[in-house]
Amino acid sequence: MRNVLRALVVEDEASTRRELAAMLAALPEIGPVSQADGGEAAVRLLGTETFDAAFLDISMPGLDGMEVARVLSVLSAPPAIVFVTASEHHAVDAFGIGAADYLLKPVRPERLAEAVARVGALRRPAPAQGAAGAAEELSVVQIETGRQTVFVHRDDIQFAEAHGDYVRLHTAAGSHLIRLSLTYLEEVWAEAGFVRAHRGYLVAVGWVKDLRVSSASGLLARTPAGDVPVSRRHSRALKERLLAAVRDDAGRGGPGPPGGGRGRGGAGGA
């Protein structure tokens, strides 16, 4: 028997809340669906019940969706967060918080089903080879661009940037949009050397030439495809990964070709 997900819809507009709850209830992966008419009501409900997924509106009176998400993040077993909003302006912040997905209103059934599938994958206990299998599955990314299908090798991707409902993948040859969340890519590409540099960016450690400080932009990780902002929150972890990569190269007797042919830069001072 398939495990079903317990969902919470948090939306102050009654008709929108009921419609989203009905759409969720129609999906086979979803079990009970609870509703809250605002952030405060959601927090009270979360004090007595547990959920697998919370579908949060962002713009609400009182506690908004971002504030509710921050409350959820301190729970011992927080639900996966899916933001549902009319504006894409909060996408970078949303994925920085760790959202599983970000849906724009009006919500299309296929996008909702995709978000639910993503939540299900995150909540499902992974077998020993689960992460490696997912990473291998995305070792080549297939991108549909109109009448053309482009295949982008993960090892050619130097950094990834949250971009609304999508992620923009940057390579030496250009950039490509794909409908995935940055949080999901961070999870499945961690073993391939991708590290969170900023709430809206992942960077491939093997492509980082050095770190430098800009008076206008702060700390930056330099890659051939462009500069990646590094936040204070993520700078220490990134520096540690860069130092570990340099040590690994030294242990092998010099810089190697990680990812099948690309050169590795050093971890310069910042």
CATH number at 46 reads 3.40.50.2300
Domain count, the chain: 2
Q: State the burial class of residue 79 (Cβ atoms within 10 Å of its Cβ: 0-12, 13-18, 19+).
A: buried
128 in a domain, yes or no? Answer: no
Same domain, 257 and 187: yes
Picking from 55, 88, 123, the residue at the C-terminal end of a domain is 123
CATH number at residue 202: 2.40.50.1020
pLDDT in tens, 99-109: 888 888 999 99
Q: Can you give the residue range of the structural domain that contains 91?
A: 5-123
Same domain, 9 and 47: yes
Res 166: pLDDT: 82
Kind and range of the H or E run holding 253: none
C-alpha–C-alpha distance, residues 29 and 1, integer Å: 11
pLDDT in tens, 213-248: 988 889 999 999 999 999 999 999 899 888 887 776
Q: What is the mean pLDDT of residues 44-49?
A: 87
What are the tokens at 88?
A: 């894409």
129 in a domain, yes or no? Answer: no
Nearest to 167 by CA among 183, 144, 188, 146: 183
Distance of CA 2 to the CA centre of its chain: 26
